[in-house]
Amino acid sequence: MTQRATRLLRLLDELRQRRGAVRGAQLAARLGVSLRTVYRDIEALRSQGAEIDGDAGVGYRLRPGFVMPPMMFPAEELEALVLGARWVASHADPELAAAANRALDRITGVLPARLRLEVETSGLFAPHWPPREPEPWVPALRLAIREGQAVRMRYRDAEGRESERVVWPFAMAFLDDMRLIAAWCESRNDFRHFRADRVLALESTGRRYPETRHQLLRRWERQRLRQREASAT
C-alpha cells in the first residue's frame, strides 16, 4: 500500500470517528501533514465517492453510511475479510453462509486486478468441520436479534425438562460445537443462555422488546463482570 493510500485511509478513519465537523488544521495536526495536503486529500476522497460535507475554514464531516471501498483496505485487512467470510461460509447456517459468499464475491468484484488475484489465490482457509445437526431456529433467532424482537420459545434444558417462555434475544455466539444465545427471560426476570439445538419451537411475538440491544448488552456485560468479581473473592 502506498504512503498516500495509507494517509487517505487514516484521514477517513479520523473523519469517521468524529460526530461533528472537524477543522482541517486539526486533521493536519493529527496526521502530521500540511493543511494544503489535507485539502488535497479531502478532494481525492470526494472524487472516489466519499460524501464529505464542509469546506476550508469551516470544517469537514463524513456523512453517515459511507462504506470505504475495499480497494483501499491494506493487505492484512483484506486477508482478515477473506478468512472471516470463509469461516462464516463453513460454520454458519446456510443463509448466513450464502450471504458470506455473496459478500466476498462483491468485495472481490470491485478490487483492482492485482488485489483480486491475491484474494482469489489466498492461502488462508477455515476448516470444514464434520456435518452438524441442522439448527432450524438459528436464522429466526438472528432475525430477532437484528430487529430487537421478543420471541416465544419452547425449550428443553440439559435435564430434559421442557418450558415455554418469552425472551429478548440480543446476542449469539458461534462456538465450535453449539450456537449459544444470550437473552433476557421475562419469566425469570433475568439474563439466561440457551443452546439453539435445544429449542423445540419458536415464534415471534410481533413486538419489539422495550430496551435496545445495546442497553441489554451493557447490562449483561456488567452482570457478568460482577459475577466474575464475586467468584474471585
Q: What is the pLDDT of residue 195?
A: 95
- pLDDT digits over 135-150, tens only? 789 999 999 999 999 9
What are 204's strand-pairing partners?
151
- pLDDT at residue 131 greater than cutoff 60: no
Shared domain for 20 and 105, answered yes or no, is no
Q: What is the CATH number of the domain that holds 58?
A: 1.10.10.10
Shared domain for 91 and 58, answered yes or no, is no
Cell numbers of 184, please? 433476557
Shared domain for 87 and 163, answered yes or no, is no
* Residue 196 CB burial class (10 angstroms; 0-12, 13-18, ≥19): buried
Number of domains in the chain: 3
Cell numbers of 51, please? 460524501
- pLDDT digits over 186-212, tens only? 999 999 999 999 999 999 999 999 999
Whether residue 222 lies inside any domain: the answer is: yes
Determine phi and psi for 57, rounding to 5 degrees.
Answer: 85, -10
**pTM for the complete prediction?**
0.66
Q: What is the pLDDT of residue 106?
A: 76
Residues in the chain: 233
Q: If pLDDT is split at 50, 70 and 90, which confidence band does 129 have? A: low
Which H helix or E strand runs over 97? Answer: helix 94-109
- CA-based angle 176:177:178, to the nearest 5? 105
Shared domain for 202 and 154, answered yes or no, is yes
Shared domain for 216 and 228, answered yes or no, is yes
Shared domain for 58 and 85, answered yes or no, is no
User: Quick check: 97 and 88 in contact, CB under 8 A?
Assistant: yes
For the segment 2-7, the average pLDDT, to the nearest whole number, is: 74
- CA-based angle 68:83:96, to the nearest 5? 80
Shared domain for 76 and 63, answered yes or no, is no
Alpha helices by DSSP H, listed for 136-207, are 138-147
Residue type, 176: D
- pLDDT digits over 16-65, tens only? 878 789 999 999 998 999 999 999 999 988 888 888 998 888 899 988 76
Shared domain for 205 and 179, answered yes or no, is yes
Decide: helix, strand or coil at residue 122: coil
Shared domain for 86 and 39, answered yes or no, is no
Whether residue 212 lies inside any domain: the answer is: yes
Longest pairwise C-alpha distance within the chain: 69
Shared domain for 28 and 92, answered yes or no, is no
Whether residue 126 lies inside any domain: the answer is: no
* Structural domain containing residue 36: 3-68
User: Quick check: 77 and 51 in contact, CB under 8 A?
Assistant: no
